[in-house]
Structure 1
């Protein structure tokens, strides 16, 4: 690389947002440097465990004692990291942070970021979400509404491939969908029961998931979902959307992208004379060399908390408290979604039925509370949805009950009874005192200050959690399911892996960090388009919204640059 080259744009990060920024900027003709702090991961060839089975590992996929120490925070999520996917999660010993209050920060530092391991659930926001802050006097008002983002949702859905069904719900807008996946027989029973026994608008639908299901569709070399449910290892078919299989190859095809892995960005460089950013400073993760790269436009897509950290470290005479931080809002309003609560139950019957494949998706119950006066709940604002699935238990359920010999052999060849489980995802309000700062005393192995999290659930969240449990128990019992067991595990914020906020979008630099185009109010050639810009959290998975805003912002930046306004 020519270190003196002035690029048109620099994109920091290669995950959900960074991949889209790279694609849109490069396709607009901008010479773009894409920086990733982790190592290179090439589609297919760098998915080492994509075809492994449990018996390929000494501990059947479980971590060794030494690895459990390395991944002691990442393991809080429960389902990962395991032996088959640990390479896509950070080593917590190498990447520490401070928990003034417990915060479960689940990360993946590699080209593709967490787009390799995300849950693929893809839902649009509505004006119920964009207007809530203003109507309730919470946080700051969003300077955009659904009509501003709707065409960008269209663009993203059509490009990544989202399977699902349109429902006609104003609070969960319809989209451009691939053919929906099917519910199984127990899920269909649950759907019918909810429709029959509840009259408050609640319903069951298949999840809207970023999986290609139309075999005749053209997705630039990506294939259809094979129902293997090994997505988090990297999909060799490209059946689900990731930066590695989709947006980064698109950027590369233009000839305008320079991708540099192992590049830890720690500062955006600000010029007091031009009042614009001139580039970024990095530490090479392998050599510890410090390098400065220059560009006309900077896109921060490093992941929500990492982008906030970069801005906090980007200090100058003009911005002594962090780049663009005239409002003291930088690092404030950190949010996540509720997770690790819901219910499970046993289901009688259907022992003559099974399902084909391992569907990498479940059913979804959209929000049905606090939509209007009729659905108003006391004790908390906003709402929640549910994600779940029904399945048959495997043969291991019989080990403790069956005898020996022929009876045991026959039993382990038969699937067990049906069970159903649901997890609630609820909205988290944007409190100013839920914040992340730079530690004054603790640094990482590269000498950079660690992030310090002071974030907690408050009364609104705890009240909502009680209702999340109560309502799913009521639905399971109404369906006639047996042994209904609610659960609510002790967690910190962050475990939903939907952490967001810290560089919120708003109308004024006095109360927010970025404007309606995702530009820093006071440094217009710096854009923040990962979850850091979020001013509220809704109750739906946020990645589709990050992608839509990123595509919109990247096209805005290209137009501004071509017109000379950012040069």
Structure 2
């Protein structure tokens, strides 16, 4: 819908949501279902569910390079993706923002992987959906690190319930207080090798558990999910191409259809939000300024409430660029912490092994996940020489042992016979919030929309490096103790950002003296602006964060509408 040239009244809505990814989609759903007229803005192109998943049903031989590699022309515009380990393929490249059109700057290496489109990274995320617990919400205050979370698990637990029911999370019930159970559909089965590992680890290592991952895939769709056009996961493991079955949670499959069903939603793609417009006389925001991605025309839209869900780094940049006499250093930034305490998980440290036996067993389908090992370090009596902890994501498979000189009949014979089993444990670990890990705007350098470039400076420190020693050694220890062969460790950390779990930089807190947001995710001094994407995080746990973004968003939307009804916003 083209809104250019319309009057102020016609450009006015009850709510504006900036960004349509995991948290933005939830904001649009919740606010429209509560009766508000909502404008959903995204800087990228529109993506229609099913019809715009161009590669979802393609076979490998239908790609120029059989989806094994990308062309040199593609590599040239995706240098960050290529250096960080081929995050794109021929099948998925169109779902990621290329680095040439969207530059940024680095004081220290930061691999910023972005998806600029309606749906954002909800189309390409890893779909692991874990709850945080009070061990996470209380860690900062107990250890004197960073700032205290203004909420605890009890504040968000009912919202975890709420979003899990709608999104659809498959998983197992384990009864772990530091990784709370939720509302699950049945989990994917562990392979025979993973079941073997589970038994042996349980026997030899107290507190270590091998479990199915908790992942946003439908295995037992509810009537509500079926009514939205979603279906059971087909175990194709081609999720990053877009799922035409709607089997994994995405904006396109779940929250956007629900929002559209209300008749209260307007979606405007190609809308680059440059800033939030602050009304000095009313001490609140009145709207946002947008640059049309294609025409470069500036347009203003107005609303009672604004939700910033552009992704952690982009949301922070919008706040920084939203300057006024009241907020000369960025909206809500009385504390000076805006842009600081940048976090990402660190990973790519663990071990692999070959598994003998089980040659009479194979797996059916292409399961879109593996297994999970919850955190066990610095839990209870376990005390390490570092703070916090890590979990493992793992997988097992049978792989062919091919040689470069295999050809013709010999090659065909080898391919038709399953190879030996192998298994991998890859640690996913918490990074402490450090003031010096940050982003800022370089006003002397602009992008094609005239906006200052973001510059990053972030690194892991001694605490994380000590943790990585355990991540490697513990993985090898479990595989060796299980009797597996050719155990090999790895440590291939490349830098911040690559885990694609960037967060922090506009954190929640108890006071505007040390934070940007209050306990309801409202910006201090502009309480009709809410931030519920990764920017709001105060610490990052070792749990994948997306489920927490969903729960915080649903909670904040409920608060916002309540405040509107009270006349407070």
Shorter-chain TM-score range: over 0.9
Match of 1:411 in 2: 414
Aligned pairs for 1:151-550 within 5 A: 151-199=158-206, 201-214=207-220, 217-219=223-225, 220-372=228-380, 374-378=381-385, 380-394=386-400, 397-400=401-404, 406-550=409-553
Match of 1:81 in 2: 88
Alignment counterpart, residue 65 of structure 1, candidates 72, 97, 103: 72
C-alpha change, 1:269 and 1:408, in structure 2 (3 Å) is closer
RMSD of aligned residue pairs (Cα, Å) = 1.2
Residue pair 2:346, 2:493 contacting (<8 A) in 1 also: no
Shift of 1:474: 0.5
Aligned to 1:361, the other structure's residue is in SS state coil
Residues 1:117 and 2:132 are matched in the alignment = no
Residue pair 2:349, 2:493 contacting (<8 A) in 1 also: no
Shift of 1:216: 6.0
Residue pair 1:74, 1:107 contacting (<8 A) in 2 also: no
Shift of 1:369: 0.6
Aligned to 1:561, the other structure's residue is in SS state helix
Q: Distance in 1 between matches of 2:248 and 2:418?
A: 28
Residue pair 1:343, 1:421 contacting (<8 A) in 2 also: yes
Q: Distance in 2 between matches of 1:193 and 1:448?
A: 55
1:158-216 C-alpha deviation (Å, 9 max, x unpaired):
000000001000000000000111000000011111001112x1110000000000156
How many residues align? The count is 560
Match of 2:62 in 1: 56
Normalized against structure 2, the TM-score is what?
Answer: 0.97
Normalized against structure 1, the TM-score is what?
Answer: 0.97
Aligned to 1:205, the other structure's residue is in SS state coil
Shift of 1:400: 3.8
Structure 2 unaligned residues grouped into runs of 5+:
none
Q: Distance in 2 between matches of 1:215 and 1:504?
A: 35
Residue pair 1:74, 1:90 contacting (<8 A) in 2 also: no
Shift of 1:401: 6.9
Q: Distance in 2 between matches of 1:415 and 1:249?
A: 42
C-alpha change, 1:440 and 1:405, in structure 2 (3 Å) is closer
Residue pair 1:205, 1:365 contacting (<8 A) in 2 also: yes
Q: Distance in 1 between matches of 2:269 and 2:482?
A: 51
Q: Distance in 2 between matches of 1:3 and 1:427?
A: 48
Residue pair 1:382, 1:427 contacting (<8 A) in 2 also: yes
Residue pair 1:335, 1:501 contacting (<8 A) in 2 also: yes
Moved more, 340-349 or 450-459: 340-349
Q: Distance in 2 between matches of 1:423 and 1:194?
A: 16
Q: Distance in 2 between matches of 1:49 and 1:80?
A: 16
Q: Distance in 2 between matches of 1:438 and 1:322?
A: 11
C-alpha change, 1:401 and 1:480, in structure 2 (3 Å) is farther
Shift of 1:406: 4.9
Match of 2:8 in 1: 4
Structure 1 unaligned residues grouped into runs of 5+:
none
Shift of 1:492: 1.0
Q: Distance in 2 between matches of 1:231 and 1:248?
A: 18
Moved more, 322-331 or 437-446: 437-446
Q: Distance in 1 between matches of 2:530 and 2:130?
A: 23
Moved more, 206-215 or 125-134: 206-215
Q: Distance in 2 between matches of 1:104 and 1:482?
A: 34
Q: Distance in 2 between matches of 1:215 and 1:34?
A: 27
C-alpha change, 1:335 and 1:405, in structure 2 (3 Å) is closer
Residue pair 2:49, 2:252 contacting (<8 A) in 1 also: yes
Aligned pairs for 1:137-152 within 5 A: 137-152=144-159
Moved more, 480-489 or 305-314: 480-489
C-alpha change, 1:218 and 1:292, in structure 2 (3 Å) is closer
Q: Distance in 2 between matches of 1:80 and 1:103?
A: 14
Aligned to 1:453, the other structure's residue is in SS state strand
Shift of 1:411: 2.2
Q: Distance in 2 between matches of 1:238 and 1:508?
A: 41
Residue pair 2:84, 2:494 contacting (<8 A) in 1 also: no
Shift of 1:57: 1.0
Residue pair 1:436, 1:451 contacting (<8 A) in 2 also: yes
Q: Distance in 2 between matches of 1:105 and 1:398?
A: 35
Q: Distance in 1 between matches of 2:222 and 2:564?
A: 38
Q: Distance in 1 between matches of 2:500 and 2:195?
A: 29
